[in-house]
A and B are shown apart, each in its own frame.
Chain A
Amino acid sequence: MLYRESGQFKTSYAADQQLFPILQDRIGVLTLLAVALVAVPLLASDYWLTAILIPFLVFALAALGLNILTGYAGQLSLGTAAFMAVGAFAAYNFQLRIPGIPILVSFALGGLTSAAVGVLFGLPSLRIKGFYLAVATLAAQFFIPWLLVKVSWFSNNSSSGVITAQPVEILGFVFDTPVRKYLFVLVVVAVMALAAKNMVRSAIGRAWMAVRDMDVAAEVIGIRIMQTKLIAFAVSSFYCGVAGALYAYAYLGSVEPDGFNLDLSFRILFMIIIGGVGSIMGSFLGAAFITLLPIFLDIVLTDGAIWLGLNLPSGTTSMAQLVVFGALIIFFLIVEPLGLARLWQIAKEKLRLWPFPH
């Protein structure tokens, strides 16, 4: 009864094709944005902002990037972190070497650099599929951080390739406090999420899904498979690159190439599996889940151990994390392959009928 679309008649295709055709969704999204823009900065503590909300948004953007490639275009990648590294280091170098360049331009150029590298490593996708491609992207995952460490020019000759991000300043306004950083990340991520949503409901998004679902049929319709896949790699890597730049500039402040390791790539892959493969919202849900789970586990295990009077060996939490992540991945793939996003959809369908069962 609460979530009912009856009575909302669409009298034009334009009305039917808008972003959120259902009134309740529009209200919901606006409320969410208002909370994120106004209430959170007023209420959230620095811990919440720096340890939870900012990483959540950054990871959501990276997950979005991977979801475009894997969820929409059907090309599996295990090299997400490497493309993030390219974005972070490229943005750093553009800031460093071009005097007076606006920070957002650096970010965009960082994204574009990452896109170029992504296309390069995406080339094998023209001949191979599935886990073959996964191995090809592993090459990027191991090669790129190595290169960033070895060629010290990339990190302005710092030891072991560590870079310290320059301050983020736009038109004289410096984003230095947690609240300001949070708002900066929020705006970038929201704009890019909107753009992603627009792409997936336009011709390019349909082409991605067509190639994913049945490439021969797509080709026969006149979709250029090669071009479509490479655009997916480019757009995906662009998103990951910008996410990497945000990771360095707004989340950690200083990063080293080895921080962008296989483990990070897997974590982002898990976000889209749990959140929902082929869903924009799923990327956010998955990022939230994977960001919060370790914190939750840590609290439960630590408090539980104290309560039971146990003395847990060090590293128990991180091992328990591996087990829980692994089990959850298998669970979701078996029970709900479309992830949290699908559960959300089912919940909405139930709400439509609530309080009646059918």
Chain B
Amino acid sequence: MQFFFEVLIGGLLAGVMYSLVALGFVLIYKASGVFNFAQGAMVFLAALTFVGLQEKFGLPLWGAFPLTLGVMVLLGIGIERVVLRPLVNQPQITLFMATIGLAFFLEGVAQLVWGTEVRRLDLGLQDEPIESVMERFNLLISKFDLVAALVAGLLVAVLAVFFNKTRIGRALRAVADDHQAALAVGIPLKQIWAIVWSVAGFVALVAGLLWGARNGVQFALTFVALKALPVLILGGFESVLGAIVGGLIIGASEKLAEVYLPSLMSDFLLKHYDISINLAGIEGWFAYMLALVFLLVRPEGLFGERHIDRV
């Protein structure tokens, strides 16, 4: 039972990471209706730029962070200018494909500039069990994971305040609701989009730092970021809360499936059909299959609104 809880908690904390990536998707989708496939590439680019700046110029944490943030903001503004603006009013699917191109572009540029080898990213946090929890509950919980979860929580809180209490936030919500109407009351659409993409860049940076510090900064990050897609299917594309809950569900169920399912299935097959197979590696597809099944049952997501097609 204790082992079960450890797996569960480990999964939930990994899920927080998915949530962070998914959060970037949701922000952009809400404000511009673009499904930004390049969010994963942005996470990778942010982490790589951060490490690269540290290595090349020997910058400390607090020096590399604002610089990288600056790069991400410029990138956000650039994307709005070069990619989004010319594609305004195109079908969503076209924009989606454009962001796939963008993802390739960013991944290529990041590696051309900073090289292709795996980097270590040190945030000064140790990936070791917390002793007090260890003693009291006899559970292994990593310090690092806990801090990551706190950071994610803080980020969501900051974003909530930003969206609900500031003038820009109100404009953002107006744009999300109706582009035309927002334009009509004088909200500068293009500026808003640039801001949203910059905020998404900021979220990508935070996600990239946490992911990178845990697993090293490498190309495989972009694959992990793909997992944000099933998270969004579960949580719904327009819900910040959904991104968080979806991430937790995917993270936990994926880890539990990886730990328990292969042996269960192998035993079953061996016992009843005399087939001996090693089924490890379920993690690679479990999230997507879960999303697929979910799509068949509840296509609008956990928190998404059911749309009525008007004719």
Contact = CB atoms under 8 A, between A and B. Distances in A.
A and B touch in the complex (CB under 8 A): yes
B292 A136 contact: yes
B281 A326 contact: no
A216 B311 CA distance: 8
B295 A136 contact: yes
B163 interface: no
A270 B93 CA distance: 14
A323 B105 contact: yes
A131 B104 contact: no
27 contacts: A76-B93, A123-B296, A124-B296, A130-B92, A131-B93, A136-B292, A138-B226, A139-B289, A143-B289, A146-B281, A146-B285, A216-B309, A269-B100, A273-B97, A313-B116, A319-B108, A319-B116, A320-B108, A320-B112, A322-B104, A322-B107, A322-B111, A323-B105, A326-B108, A327-B101, A328-B101, A329-B98
A324 B112 CA distance: 12
Given A130-B96, A216-B309, A325 B101 contact: yes
B251 interface: no
A76 B96 contact: yes
Contacts of B311: 216
A350 interface: no
Contact of B285 (A130, A143, A326): A143
A322 B288 contact: no
Interface residues of A, number: 45
B291 A139 contact: yes
A197 interface: no
Q: Give the size category of B's interface with A.
A: 35 or more
Given A322-B104, A333-B87, A135 B96 contact: no
A305 interface: no
B118 to A, nearest CB: 13
Contacts of A329: 97-98, 100-101, 104
B89 interface: no
Nearest to A141: B288
Interface in A250-270: 266, 269-270
A132 interface: yes
A124 B292 contact: yes
A135 B101 contact: no
Nearest to B35: A131
B188 interface: no
A334 interface: yes
Contacts of A320: 108, 112
Nearest to B295: A124
A143 B90 CA distance: 32
A329 B106 CA distance: 13
B112 A319 contact: yes
A315 interface: yes
Nearest to A266: B100
Contacts of B279: 150
Nearest to A124: B295
A193 B285 CA distance: 33
A127 B295 contact: yes
Contact of A135 (B86, B106, B229): B229
Nearest to B99: A330
Interface in B171-230: 226, 229-230
A270 B104 CA distance: 11
A326 B229 contact: no
Contacts of A328: 101
Nearest to A147: B285
Leading 3 A-B pairs by shortest Cβ distance: A329-B101, A326-B105, A322-B108
Interface in A148-168: 150-152
B308 to A, nearest CB: 13
Interface in A71-117: 74, 76
Interface in B99-123: 100-109, 111-112, 115-116
A316 B295 contact: no
B2 interface: no
B299 A132 contact: yes
Interface in B3-24: none
B132 interface: no
A142 interface: yes
Given A323-B104, A326-B103, A139 B278 contact: no
Given A327-B101, A334-B87, A138 B281 contact: no
Contacts of A322: 104-105, 107-108, 111
A323 B277 contact: no
A132 B233 contact: yes
A124 B297 CA distance: 10
A310 to B, nearest CB: 13
A96 B94 CA distance: 43
Nearest to B86: A334
A132 B97 CA distance: 13
Interface string A304-345: 000000000101100111111111111001100100000000
A128 interface: yes
A221 to B, nearest CB: 14
Interface in A26-70: none
A199 interface: no
B83 interface: yes
A223 interface: no
Given A146-B285, A329-B101, A323 B90 contact: no
A138 B289 CA distance: 9
B117 to A, nearest CB: 9
B101 A326 contact: yes
A186 interface: no
Contacts of B86: 334
Contact of A127 (B101, B115, B296): B296
Contacts of B90: 333, 337
A146 B226 CA distance: 17
B90, B100, B111, B112: residue with the most chain A Cβ atoms closer than 10 Å: B100
A134 interface: yes
B237 to A, nearest CB: 9
A143 B98 contact: no
B97 A143 contact: no
A131 B25 CA distance: 13
A152 B107 CA distance: 34
A315 B110 CA distance: 13
